[in-house]
């Protein structure tokens, strides 16, 4: 069986963007109350006493927008200082990176994924929700700041939506030629956004890959990441292009991850809502770490079955109620 050693940790469910595919503006969302968040100390207790003893050693901080969490640099420093930590990375929309990139780097974070769905200000606004002011420039400045500060690898996540940003695939891929940046094209998923998905559907990775190949050629890159991306490079390019194809492919059999929500629910599979455990309430009720460890270990044993069950999204209009921002994408 595949080792499950990668924990994606959502630190917050709120966000300063309202991306159409993640938290559509017309959808009313209820947010967690401050007291419902796992505190930094609770998170560290879970890592040290439950997850690390079970073999977890790779962690990603996400959200919602994790840069909105004021204690983020301390959380980073604490996780980095754990002997078991082999890898720590962060996924962010980049909007606050001009202010925060340096402190995060100093705290020990070296790897970062920044979401950037368009190089065009107007398209970007359309995707992230119209707040009447341009946010593209500041996001771009955040990416440049992260680059300057030294984040490596620096990955850019692009969710490709037909008729919205799919015409920019080549422009985005081109960024990898001169810069050591890594673009990850992600197939759009029907999670928390039923209507948009039903209107637009998704673009298979194979089509995007072909487009790039027709223009420049593509070679398989010798990269073995933590994730499910298939990675290639344009000949002579400094960076890589990768494809995350959870709609067109099933990579459940090589899935090495589980997700912890900002309010402490452990979710064994992104695509399936069964089997979740409320670790925060258990911790606050004084349940002993040994028992929590056993409950998580039992859940990990069930994970292969959970993965394959009901993986029917998109095929029959099924979509998920929790948004990616609530799950921790
Ligand atoms: N706010 C941060 C960001 O946007 O990078 C981190 C959280 S966000 C939920 C994590 C990733 O999930 C982003 O790269 C985002 O593009 C992706 N995502 C969100 N909703 C998605 C969907 N419906 N389909 C595919 N990817 C999605
Ligand atoms: Fe916010 Fe990230 Fe979701 Fe966009 S994808 S709404 S930036 S959490």
**How many Å lie between the centroid of ligand 2 and the Cα of residue 137?**
17
Decide: 65 in ligand 2 pocket, CB within 6 A: yes
Angle, vertex CA 68, rays to CA 293 and CA 72, nearest 5: 50
Instruction: Sketch the domain layout of the chain as residue ranges.
Output: 6-327
Condensed to tens digits (0 to 9), the pLDDT of residues 61-109 reads 999 999 999 999 999 999 999 999 999 999 999 999 999 999 999 999 9
Q: 173 C-alpha vs ligand 1 centroid, how far in Å? A: 19
Residue 274: the pLDDT is: 74
Please, what is the average pLDDT of the chain?
A: 90
| 8 A C-beta contact, residue 152 and residue 171 | no
Cα 306 to Cα 3, 256, 258: the distances in Å are: 16, 13, 12
Check pLDDT > 60 for residue 316. Answer: no
- Return d(Cα 62, Cα 43) in angstroms, integer: 14
6-327: CATH topology? TIM Barrel (3.20.20)
Instruction: Give residue 313's pLDDT.
Output: 47
């927008």: which residue's tokens?
A: 65
| pLDDT surpasses 60 at 318 | no
pTM of the predicted structure, to 2 decimals: 0.93
Cα angle at 83 between 77 and 89, to 5 degrees?
Answer: 50
Q: Which residues contact 133 (CB under 8 A, 6 or more apart)?
A: none
- Ligand 1 centroid to Cα of residue 288, in Å, is 34
Locate the ligand 2 atom nearest the alpha carbon of residue 95 and give its number: 7
Residue 322: per-residue pLDDT: 65
- Ligand closest in space to the Cα of 14: 2
Ligand nearest to C-alpha 327:
1
Residue identified by tokens 């368009």 is 118
Query: What does the alpha-carbon distance between residue 318 and residue 311 come to, in Å, rounded to a whole number?
Result: 10
Mean pLDDT of 104-132: 93
Give the distance from CA 280 to its chain's centroid.
Answer: 22
- Residue % of the chain over a pLDDT of 90: 71
């Amino acid at each position: 069986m595949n080792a499950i050693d990668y924990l994606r940790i959502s630190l917050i469910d709120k966000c300063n963007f309202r991306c159409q595919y993640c938290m559509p503006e017309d959808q009313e969302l209820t947010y967690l109350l401050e007291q419902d968040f796992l505190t930094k100390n609770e998170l560290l207790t879970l890592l040290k006493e439950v997850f690390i003893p079970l073999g977890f050693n790779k962690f990603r901080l996400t959200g919602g927008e994790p840069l909105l969490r004021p204690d983020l640099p301390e959380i980073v420093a604490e996780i980095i200082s754990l002997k078991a930590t082999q890898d720590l990375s962060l996924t962010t929309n980049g909007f606050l990176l001009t202010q925060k990139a340096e402190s995060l780097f100093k705290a020990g974070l070296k790897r970062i994924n920044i979401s950037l769905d368009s190089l065009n200000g107007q398209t970007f606004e359309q995707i992230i929700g119209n707040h009447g002011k341009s946010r593209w420039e500041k996001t771009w400045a955040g990416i440049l700041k992260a680059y300057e500060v030294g984040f490596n690898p620096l990955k850019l996540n692009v969710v490709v939506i037909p008729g919205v940003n799919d015409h920019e695939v080549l422009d985005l891929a081109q960024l990898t030629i001169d810069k050591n940046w890594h673009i990850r094209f992600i197939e759009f998923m029907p999670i928390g956004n039923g209507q948009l998905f039903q209107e637009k559907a998704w673009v298979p990775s194979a089509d995007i890959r072909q487009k790039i190949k027709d223009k420049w050629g593509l070679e398989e890159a010798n990269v073995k990441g933590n994730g499910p991306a298939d990675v290639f490079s344009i000949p002579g390019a400094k960076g890589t292009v990768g494809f995350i194809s959870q709609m067109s492919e099933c990579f459940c059999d090589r899935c090495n991850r589980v997700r912890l929500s900002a309010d402490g629910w452990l979710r064994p599979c992104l695509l399936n809502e069964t089997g979740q455990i409320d670790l925060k309430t258990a911790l606050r009720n004084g349940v002993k770490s040994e028992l929590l460890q056993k409950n998580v270990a039992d859940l990990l044993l069930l994970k292969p079955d959970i993965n394959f069950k009901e993986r029917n999204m998109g095929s029959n209009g099924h979509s998920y109620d929790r948004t990616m921002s609530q799950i921790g994408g």
